[in-house]
Amino acid sequence: MADPHPALLMFIGARYVEQRVSEAVLAAGYDDLTPAMARAAARLRDDGIRVTEIAEQARITKQSASVLVDLLERASYVERVPDPADARARLVVLAPRGREVQKVARRVERAIEREWTRHLGAERMAAFKAALTDLREITDPYR
């Protein structure tokens, strides 16, 4: 490829991080997490999230999201609790085991960010992150 589109380079970088994280999580002994489960789990917030919200953000149907949450729940990574604000809905929250995995993932993510900063230098890295953040404004329909 003579001059690859920025999007391809972005994809390559994102895929690299996903692989590094999933390897580390596997190495830490969590071998029952599939990539799809992990991607769904990555959407979790501390205050809980609805299945429908996971689906929107991950761009999958609510049925698919529901299956993934089932799997995560069965493996004790998350719990479903009733949403106090809406009796139709249930909130997906991290269970203790999920919080442990999250810690492992966060640690790898920070390590990669340091590696990238070392490679580009602090200044270029900051500019890079700022550009990504600005581009999100025109590429991310979910804020």
Partner DNA sequence: CCTCAATAGTCAGTCTTACTGACCAAATCC
Partner DNA sequence: GGATTTGGTCAGTAAGACTGACTATTGAGG
Among 78, 109, 114, 122, binds a copy of itself (CB under 8 A): 109
Distance CA 49, CA 45 (A): 6
Work out whether 88 is an interface residue with a copy of itself (CB under 8 A): no
Provide the minimum distance between the beta carbon of 88 and DNA in the complex, in angstroms, as a whole number. Answer: 4
Provide the minimum distance between the beta carbon of 89 and DNA in the complex, in angstroms, as a whole number. Answer: 3
Of a copy of itself, DNA, none, which one does residue 60 interact with (CB within 5 to 8 Å by kind)?
Answer: DNA
Q: Is 40 exposed, middle or buried (0-12, 13-18, 19+ CB in 10 A)?
A: buried
Of a copy of itself, DNA, none, which one does residue 8 interact with (CB within 5 to 8 Å by kind)?
Answer: a copy of itself
- In sequence order, the β-bridge partners of residue 79 are 93
Which parts of this chain interact with DNA (CB under 7 A)?
34-37, 39, 50-53, 59-64, 66-69, 71, 80, 83, 86-91
Residues within window 25-64 making contact with a copy of itself, judged by CB under 8 A: 42, 45, 59
Q: Which residues contact 142 (CB under 8 A, 6 or more apart)?
A: 56, 57
Q: Which is nearer to DNA, 81 or 131 (CB)?
A: 81
- In sequence order, the β-bridge partners of residue 90 are 82
Q: How far is CA 130 from CA 13, 31, 57, 64, 134, in A?
A: 16, 35, 22, 33, 6
